[in-house]
């Protein structure tokens, strides 16, 4: 079903253990969302046998997330880009900044009035772009955008896979009210019953 809106843009800082496994902090509001564009790159391979395609493998490689926002505050800019604020509250971006990975959550309004919810488990952002323009005869809003690379997380789930995205539609079969109401309280962790955990 088509989506007609976007809001509730959150990020959660990631703490990494020595083995690289992620622990997610409490989600915080990033900014007011204007747009979110997610494109995916796949690693593909085709095995040919008996004069035809015998097997095809398409695995997630990485993704690109471009967020259009109303503004990126100084705290979010530090958390997403590795920039630092000086003693006067001025945000300083340096060539040596290393952007830490974060999880990104948001929701999209569907045409039926219900929402589709998302968490991207590991995103590393670049420096936000700025588009500035002098005021003329009419007012034109200029807003920043920030682009990040989406990767699978290092921490395996209960099926020993490494998820990169969690997505759920409000009102879908099997989706509990608690899953929806708690979506932005913490980064969603996949859960499986014993019967499916060995698959």
Residue-by-residue pLDDT tens, the chain, 199 positions: 566 778 899 999 999 998 888 999 999 999 888 888 888 887 777 778 887 777 877 788 888 998 888 888 889 889 988 889 899 989 888 888 888 999 999 999 988 889 999 999 999 998 776 665 666 666 555 567 888 999 999 999 989 999 999 999 998 999 999 999 999 999 999 988 864 444 4
Number of domains in the chain: 1
Q: How far apart are CA 50 and CA 61, in angstroms?
A: 29
Give the whole-angstrom CA distance, residue 91 versus residue 84.
6
Q: Which residues contact 65 (CB under 8 A, 6 or more apart)?
A: 36, 37, 38, 104, 120, 123, 147, 148, 149, 150
**In this structure, what token pair is assigned to residue 185?**
């309280």
Q: How far is CA 20 from the centre of its chain?
A: 19
Question: Tell me, what DSSP letter sits at residue 88?
Answer: T
Handedness of CA 81, 86, 89, 92 (dihedral sign): negative
Predicted model pTM: 0.80
Residue 150, domain extent:
3-197
For residue 71, the SS3 value is: coil
Q: Which pLDDT score is estimated for 178?
A: 93
Helices and strands in the chain, H and E counts: 3, 11
Q: Cβ(48)–Cβ(122) under 8 Å?
A: no
Q: What distance in Å separates the CA atoms of residue 153 and residue 121, rounded to the nearest whole number?
A: 6
pLDDT at 138: 60
Backbone phi, psi, residue 23, to 5°: -120, 130
3-state secondary structure of 62: strand
Task: List the one residue out of 169, 147, 166, 146 whose CA is nearest residue 155.
Answer: 166
Which residue is it, tokens 């999209």?
A: 108
């Amino acid at each position: 079903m088509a989506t007609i809106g976007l809001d509730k843009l959150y990020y959660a800082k990631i703490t990494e253990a020595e083995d690289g496994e992620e622990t997610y902090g409490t989600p915080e509001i990033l900014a007011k969302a204007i747009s979110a564009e997610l494109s995916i790159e796949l690693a593909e391979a085709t095995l040919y046998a008996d004069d035809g395609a015998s097997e095809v493998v398409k695995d997630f490689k990485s993704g690109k997330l471009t967020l259009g926002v109303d503004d990126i505050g100084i705290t979010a800019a530090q958390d997403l880009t590795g920039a630092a604020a000086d003693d006067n509250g001025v945000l300083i971006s340096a060539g040596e900044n290393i952007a830490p990975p974060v999880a990104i959550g948001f929701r999209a309004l569907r045409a039926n009035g219900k929402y589709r919810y998302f968490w991207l488990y590991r995103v590393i952002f670049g420096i936000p772009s700025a588009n500035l323009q002098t005021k003329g005869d009419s007012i034109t809003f200029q807003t920043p955008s920030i682009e990040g690379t989406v990767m699978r997380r290092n921490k395996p789930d209960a099926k020993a896979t490494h998820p990169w995205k969690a997505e759920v539609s409000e009102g879908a079969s099997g989706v509990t009210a608690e899953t929806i109401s708690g979506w932005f309280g913490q980064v969603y962790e996949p859960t499986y019953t014993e019967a499916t955990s060995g698959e």
